[in-house]
Structure 1
Amino acid sequence: MKYSKIRSKLTRWFQYYFVFSKAALLISALVFSHSLVEHAVVDVLMSYITDTWKNVHLNVAAVAVNTYEVTSTIAVVLLAHASDAYFGHFKMILITTKTYILGLVLLWITGTKIWLLVVALVLISVGTAGKEPPLKEFLVDQLRRHEQSLDGNNEIRVQARTEVWWRFWWCLGSITATFAFSAVDWPNTFKVVIVVMFVAYWLFRFGEGLPYCQSPTSEENQTGKQEASASPLSLAYRVLKAAIMKRHLHYPDASKFFKNDSGELILLPNIPFFRWLDKAAIVDPSSLSPEEQEKQGKLCSVAQVKEIKYLLKMVPMWATFLVYGLVEATGSTFFVEQTSNLRSPITDSFVDIVIAFNAMKSLTSFIVPYLYELLIQRRWSDGRQKQGGLLVRIGVGMVSSVLCCCAAWLVEVRRLSMVEIEGVDSDVEIRMSILWLVPQFLLS
């Protein structure tokens, strides 16, 4: 009886989180290849640059890696806009994957040509930006097709299946990178990852004939052409443009707002600095009808204005993630260089140890959100309690960033003292285990 209950729970758990989808399997090949490339190459770019260009100063290498990360972050926003507004997820995935492969090829043949390295890093940054949101949103589209209806419970199940499916193949790629590249030099590493991504690209390309969902935010006008209005960036542009064009108008009563179903006189959130955005929803008393004004981009609905106001309200909170960004930048540069003269108890090659550390980070990022959802989020059914739980999760992440910096500081103090005691250069191996770096990699 006890085993039957356990088996029943496992069956229900499996049916909740997993569903067979041919399109999702094709997407999984790309997820696996992205994970393999990121752990085998991208996460250890600092090591590649310092190994290939012996005369390059560490500061220059760090600037190159951080510039790549900034470019990748900016590309994520731009590609998400282009995917939602113009290309759709499928075409954007094809474009970014080809760009990724080209960047890897250039990085492989750079030799000592700095300009080729710069071009390769730009192309790779565009390729990595194609991972999220286009690829992940496309996976959501495929899993959503298996639901008969899209009520709240089904949508939650779709998101849960997406996370499990995504993180399973991502962790599989990171584990493969850890064991497959333990004693492989850089040229052979590039050959393997390029072949894997090329094969994954063509597997995904074979799915072009399968029925798939376009971007859920895309809209079509009367001519059948996709409109860009549904993209968040396009919507923000339209609201700002309409508000500036109507800056001379006075605030009317609630009936003059376009599609003001709630009858609000002051559109929420009530932030004085953003009150001028409300004018984007004012119907201009001209000869044009409200529908024609909306078609020409001169009028926005109340819901659109409120959406942009809520979005701008989050800007101060986004600024707090600057500290988190500094920790991320440190993890991809300083943490990697710390391993250069530490003794490895596992292997003589330190590159695979760094890959193992990054794989450990991926596994942690998979386990922690799941435990949070299982132990905390599900126990809070009230919406306000769930919002408070999300803030707790963000706070715990920030505290972990502080602890990560403290751990890295203490380890570096010990490392430098060992270098001084042994009287060797900073790049000569010392009697200090590389496992001292485990806490800071886990906390990052």
Structure 2
Amino acid sequence: MGSVDESRIGLLVAEENRNEEIGPSTSVLKQQTGGWKASSLILFTELCQCIAIFGITKNLVVYLKTELLEDNVSAATNASIYMGSYFLAPLIGAYVSDAYWGNYLTIMGFCIINFTGMVILTLLTSLSSLKQSPFFNFLGLYMISLGSGSTQPCLSAFGADQFDTIDRKAKASFSSWYYLSIKIGLVFSSTVIIWIQDNYGWTIGFSIPTLLSGIAFMCLKAGSRYYRYCKPSGSPFTRLCQVVVAASRKYTLDFPEDDSLLYHTKRESAIVQENGSSEHTPEFSFLDKAAIITSSDFSCSGALNPWRLCTVMQVEELKSILRLLPIWATLILFTSVSSQESSVFVEQGMVMDRHFGSLNIPAASLSSFNVIAVVVFAPIYDKIIVPVACRITKTEGGLCHLQRAGIGLLFSMLAMLSAAIVEMKRLQIARDEGLMHQNVAVPMTIFWQIPQYVLVGVGEVFNQIRMLDFFYDQAPDSMRSLCLALALLTVSLGNYVASFILTVVNRVTGWIPENLNEGHLDRFFFLFAGLSLFNLVVFVYCASRYRYKKK
């Protein structure tokens, strides 16, 4: 989650646009706006937002089971669909921000939607007549999903906009603090908020996230005079669609013998001559027809129709994204594994011994070990593993992006194997204790789940976090935000895929009944491990054929 939000910091607007919007007194206004005064308010807003949203999502399975009386499969499925929608929403926020409103107005608008959803959900917990209403509960939940999810990419980009383009050190520092605020919010929610919900009820447990959501909105609004604002730069989706439409219209034309006859602007020619980027490539040659010049591409007045003629640079932008898609597709199952820690892992923990001395540990709180694993292992990776790998491979960075991602996929498979082994042991204890037909917790401490949470966290360090660098590095310069949004989309689709697999498997096999002591959750985990292994093989094949972008 944290790393996916950080990726949008790559969306920056040229300093010339910022100067144009501010006007002739740019140097004076720059001293009064932006910088750490403005970005610190954005960081505090993100911290409050993270505590609020994780305070809802991390214990959602328990809420659905205890308040809406859903069974194991329905609760886990609905939780996965909800998380999928949450990570789909950033695409909406990014599009609205880039094409129409800009970051600030987009954040403010969707914050209102998020706060309204929080209020609805909180009120439902205290209204007995509507308490178990699926319609109003899911209305509140999906308003939260849309509102909070859509603000995430805009908050990170808006924070980066507060610094000058050349101030890379400040931007990097903001990136670190932004990532840290996400992790602090996650840990606080996974421990304090969840404990309050389990011990003091849902009304108080949801009132705190609602209050924090309102504080986030007021904090961001209070700093409006300190911010630097950038004009919307337009959506890259339009440019991509223009290539497809133009190529389809010219599908009967023959290619010119000389590639130089394809349509280049003077600016593109200069860029290609200077650094070799966006030069013509032979893959997906059908799309090149969009750059073939014909008389019908221009109006009577000589104006170019962008839906009939596109530049070579536009065509190559689309080709770059198409080359990324096979790699992108293999990441979906990895995020499906990660989604288990908020659904099936929690249900597994609910039927284990959750006592630690006199404390009764909420099952969802063990997700904090995932965060701890990321925080602890990330510096180990950078300070120890990377230098050792550099000495072995004799290359900068030690391992390339795709090699790191493959290792992450391996750890995701090991996480599911660990969960399966723990479940096998839990079921064996249930049989030995005569608890097979009783829907009760078995005398096996929940701390046996720690390895599976840790393995998922280590996998995220190798895969999810590092693949953001890959998408940013390999994306066309003008479409980095779109490619990073695609990385967010894998999290959304991963949750949907997990929900689909869970529903289908249970209907066919019945492995996940209401009483998990009578089921075979271990077989479900082994199935996911097998799918992860197959996905790793496909990834290795795709990675071996991938051609890196020229520097």
What is the TM-score of this pair, normalised by structure 2?
0.66
Q: Letter of the 1:209 partner, please give it.
A: R
C-alpha root-mean-square deviation of aligned residues, in Å? 3.0
Q: Letter of the 1:312 partner, please give it.
A: L
Who is 2:140 aligned against? 120
User: How far off is 1:376 after superposition?
Assistant: 5.5
Question: Do the aligned residues in 1 keep the contact of 2:243 with 2:287 (CA within 8 Å)?
Answer: yes
Whole-Å separation in 1 of the counterparts to 2:158 and 2:306: 31
1:304 counterpart = 2:314: yes
Who is 1:248 aligned against? 252
Question: Do the aligned residues in 2 keep the contact of 1:377 with 1:389 (CA within 8 Å)?
Answer: no
Q: Letter of the 1:200 partner, please give it.
A: A
Who is 2:263 aligned against? 258
User: How far off is 1:140 after superposition?
Assistant: 1.8
Who is 2:442 aligned against? 430
Q: How does 1:266-345 map to 2 (within 5 A)?
A: 268-271=280-283, 274-286=284-296, 288=298, 294=304, 296-345=306-355
Who is 2:381 aligned against? 372
Whole-Å separation in 2 of the counterparts to 1:292 and 1:361: 60
Deviations along 1:314-333, one digit per CA (max 9) or x if unpaired, are 11111111321321232221
Q: How does 1:10-89 map to 2 (within 5 A)?
A: 21-54=36-69, 56-89=70-103
User: How far off is 1:437 after superposition?
Assistant: 0.8
Q: Flag the 1:309–1:380 CA change in 2: closer, same or farther, 3 A.
A: farther
Q: Letter of the 1:210 partner, please give it.
A: Y
Q: Flag the 1:66–1:95 CA change in 2: closer, same or farther, 3 A.
A: same
1:411 counterpart = 2:422: yes
Question: Do the aligned residues in 2 keep the contact of 1:75 with 1:126 (CA within 8 Å)?
Answer: yes
Identity level (%): 24
Secondary structure of 2:442's counterpart equals coil
Q: Letter of the 2:429 partner, please give it.
A: M
Whole-Å separation in 1 of the counterparts to 2:178 and 2:438: 40
User: How far off is 1:426 after superposition?
Assistant: 5.3
Q: Flag the 1:345–1:438 CA change in 2: closer, same or farther, 3 A.
A: same
User: How far off is 1:358 after superposition?
Assistant: 2.4
Deviations along 1:123-149, one digit per CA (max 9) or x if unpaired, are 12213322432111212222x33x6x2
1:392 to 403, 408, 412: 403
User: How far off is 1:436 after superposition?
Assistant: 0.6
Whole-Å separation in 2 of the counterparts to 1:75 and 1:83: 12
Q: Flag the 1:233–1:375 CA change in 2: closer, same or farther, 3 A.
A: farther
Q: Letter of the 1:188 partner, please give it.
A: I
Who is 1:187 aligned against? 203
Whole-Å separation in 1 of the counterparts to 2:184 and 2:71: 35
Secondary structure of 1:130's counterpart equals helix
Question: Do the aligned residues in 2 keep the contact of 1:39 with 1:358 (CA within 8 Å)?
Answer: no
User: How far off is 1:95 after superposition?
Assistant: 2.0
Return 384-393 or 204-213, whichever deviates more. Answer: 384-393
Report the count of equivalent residues: 400
User: How far off is 1:180 after superposition?
Assistant: 5.0
Structure with larger RCO (C-alpha < 8 A, sep 6+): 2
Question: Do the aligned residues in 2 keep the contact of 1:401 with 1:443 (CA within 8 Å)?
Answer: yes
Whole-Å separation in 2 of the counterparts to 1:50 and 1:125: 19
Q: How does 1:171-186 map to 2 (within 5 A)?
A: 171-177=183-189, 178-182=191-195, 183-186=199-202
Whole-Å separation in 2 of the counterparts to 1:237 and 1:291: 24
Q: Letter of the 1:141 partner, please give it.
A: D
Return 393-402 or 283-292, whichever deviates more. Answer: 283-292
Who is 2:370 aligned against? 361
Who is 2:219 aligned against? 203
Q: Flag the 1:301–1:420 CA change in 2: closer, same or farther, 3 A.
A: same
Q: Letter of the 1:332 partner, please give it.
A: S
User: How far off is 1:269 after superposition?
Assistant: 3.9
Q: How does 1:88-99 map to 2 (within 5 A)?
A: 88-99=102-113
Secondary structure of 1:431's counterpart equals strand
User: How far off is 1:311 after superposition?
Assistant: 0.4
Question: Do the aligned residues in 2 keep the contact of 1:68 with 1:122 (CA within 8 Å)?
Answer: yes
Who is 1:140 aligned against? 160
Question: Do the aligned residues in 1 keep the contact of 2:342 with 2:367 (CA within 8 Å)?
Answer: no
Q: Letter of the 1:165 partner, please give it.
A: W
Whole-Å separation in 2 of the counterparts to 1:267 and 1:426: 67
Q: Flag the 1:91–1:284 CA change in 2: closer, same or farther, 3 A.
A: same
Question: Do the aligned residues in 2 keep the contact of 1:283 with 1:290 (CA within 8 Å)?
Answer: no
Secondary structure of 2:443's counterpart equals coil
Q: Flag the 1:287–1:115 CA change in 2: closer, same or farther, 3 A.
A: closer
Return 375-384 or 33-42, whichever deviates more. Answer: 375-384
Secondary structure of 2:152's counterpart equals helix
Whole-Å separation in 1 of the counterparts to 2:157 and 2:377: 22
Question: Do the aligned residues in 2 keep the contact of 1:340 with 1:350 (CA within 8 Å)?
Answer: no
Question: Do the aligned residues in 2 keep the contact of 1:376 with 1:389 (CA within 8 Å)?
Answer: no
Secondary structure of 1:360's counterpart equals helix
Q: Flag the 1:423–1:185 CA change in 2: closer, same or farther, 3 A.
A: same
Who is 1:12 aligned against? none
Q: Letter of the 1:42 partner, please give it.
A: T
Q: Flag the 1:437–1:131 CA change in 2: closer, same or farther, 3 A.
A: farther
Who is 1:11 aligned against? none
Return 170-179 or 326-335, whichever deviates more. Answer: 170-179
Deviations along 1:309-354, one digit per CA (max 9) or x if unpaired, are 0101111111111321321232221101112122224354433x52
Q: Letter of the 2:340 partner, please give it.
A: T
Q: Letter of the 1:64 partner, please give it.
A: N
1:232 to 214, 223, 236: 236
Q: Flag the 1:362–1:160 CA change in 2: closer, same or farther, 3 A.
A: farther
Secondary structure of 1:298's counterpart equals coil
